[in-house]
Amino acid sequence: MTDMIDIDKFTAVDIRVGTIVEVAPFPEARKPAWKLSIDLGPEIGIKRSSAQITELYTQQALVGTQVACVVNLPSRRIGPFVSEVLTLGFSDDTGRVVLVRPERSVPNGGRLH
C-alpha cells in the first residue's frame, strides 16, 4: 500500500503546464535523453529539463507540445546540464516514458488543480 499524505502536502507540489520550445540532444547523459526548454508562462519563464523520452518522442514532435512539470523542486545537476524543473511522465508496459500532457491547449503556467 502507498503511504498516505494529507492535502496540504499534495498542494505543496507545484505542477504547471508549459510548452516545449526547444529540444536538444543530450549525449553526455547515462541513458538516452533530450534537453528541453519549456515555456512555463510569464510568471515562471522558460526553464530547462532533462527527459529520458527519446524512445517515443523525436525532437521535431516535441517542439510545441504542452507538458506537465513540477516547478518547485531544487535544480538538479545531470552531468554538465542543470535541470530546473521535473517533466512528468508514466512508464508504459516496456518502461518507456509517456509524457503527462493536457488533452487540450491551456495557457502556459497554468497550475494543476
Q: What percent of the chain has pLDDT over 70?
A: 100
Beta strand segments in 40-75, E: 46-51, 66-70
pLDDT in tens, 95-111: 999 999 999 999 999 99
Tell me the pLDDT tens digit for each residue of 52-81: 999 999 999 999 999 999 999 999 999 999
Q: Is 92 inside a domain boundary?
A: yes
Residue 4 lies in a domain: no
CATH code of 33's domain: 2.40.50.140
Residue 42 contacts residue 109 (beta carbons within 8 Å): yes
Half-sphere exposure at residue 61, Cβ-oriented, CA atoms within 13 angstroms:
8
Number of Cβ within 10 Å of residue 100's Cβ equals: 16
How many other β-carbons are positioned within 10 Å of the β-carbon of residue 78? 15
Is the CB of residue 83 less than 8 Å from the CB of residue 76?
yes
Structural domains of the chain, count:
1
* pTM of the full structure: 0.94
